[in-house]
Amino acid sequence: MYDANPLIHHLRAASVGREDAVFATQPLAGPDAAAVTFAQLFARAEQMAAELVEQGVQPGDRVAVQVQKSLAAIELYLGTVMAGAVFLPLNTAYTDTEVAYFISDATPRVFVCDPERAGSLQSVAAQAKVLTLDAAGQGTLSALADRQGGFQVVARSPDDLAAILYTSGTTGRSKGAMLSHANLYSNSRTLRDHWEFTCDDVLIHALPIFHTHGLFVATNVALLAAASVVFLPGFDRDAILQAMPTATALMGVPTFYTRLLADERLTQECAANMRLFISGSAPLLVDTHEQWEARTGHRILERYGMTETNMSTSNPYRGERIAGTVGLPLPGVEARVMAEGTELAAGEIGVLEVRGPNVFQGYWQMPEKTAEELRPDGWFITGDLAKIDSNGYVTIVGRQKDLVITGGFNVYPKEVEVLIDDMPGVVESAVIGVPHPDFGEAVVAVVARSGDEISAEAIQAALVGQLAKFKQPKHVALVDALPRNTMGKVQKKALRETYAGLFG
Ligand code: AMP
Sign of the alpha-carbon torsion through 206, 211, 216, 217: negative
Q: How far is the CA of 306 from the centre of ligand 1 (A)?
A: 5
Q: How far is the CA of 362 from the centre of ligand 1 (A)?
A: 18
Residue nearest atom 16 of ligand 1, based on CA coordinates: 281
Ligand 1 — pocket residues by CB below 6 A?
Answer: 167-168, 212, 280-283, 302, 304-307, 326, 382, 384, 396, 399, 487
Ligand 1 atom nearest to CA at 399: 12
Q: Among 396, 412, 484, name the best residue to mutate to test ligand 1's pocket (greatest count of ligand atoms within 8 A of Cβ).
A: 396
Q: How far is the CA of 358 from the centre of ligand 1 (A)?
A: 15
Residue nearest atom 10 of ligand 1, based on CA coordinates: 306
pTM: 0.92
Q: How far is the CA of 395 from the centre of ligand 1 (A)?
A: 12
Compute the distance between CA of residue 39 and CA of residue 45 in angstroms, rounded to an integer: 10
290: nearest Cα among 265, 327, 322, 267: 322
Compute the distance between CA of residue 197 and CA of residue 202 in angstroms, rounded to an integer: 9
pLDDT given at position 34: 81
pLDDT given at position 351: 97
Q: How far is the CA of 304 from the centre of ligand 1 (A)?
A: 6
Q: How far is the CA of 305 from the centre of ligand 1 (A)?
A: 6
Q: Are 430 and 467 in contact (CB under 8 A)?
A: no
Name the 3-class secondary structure at 418.
helix
Q: How far is the CA of 303 from the centre of ligand 1 (A)?
A: 9
DSSP 347: T
Ligand 1 atom nearest to CA at 167: 2
Q: Among 256, 313, 489, name the best residue to mutate to test ligand 1's pocket (greatest count of ligand atoms within 8 A of Cβ).
A: 489
pLDDT given at position 437: 85
pLDDT given at position 171: 53
232: nearest Cα among 212, 249, 256, 207: 207
Residue nearest atom 15 of ligand 1, based on CA coordinates: 281
β 301-306/276-279 pair status: parallel
The residues near 387 (Cβ < 8 Å, ≥ 6 apart) are 337, 344, 346, 347, 348, 349, 350, 394, 395, 397
Q: How far is the CA of 414 from the centre of ligand 1 (A)?
A: 14
Ligand 1 atom nearest to CA at 308: 2
Cβ atoms within 10 Å, residue 485: 17
Q: Among 306, 330, 354, 380, name the best residue to mutate to test ligand 1's pocket (greatest count of ligand atoms within 8 A of Cβ).
A: 306
For residue 241, the Cα-to-chain-centroid distance in whole angstroms is 22
Ligand 1 atom nearest to CA at 326: 19
Name the 3-class secondary structure at 89.
strand
Name the 3-class secondary structure at 83.
coil
Ranges in the chain, pLDDT < 50:
none
Q: How far is the CA of 282 from the centre of ligand 1 (A)?
A: 5
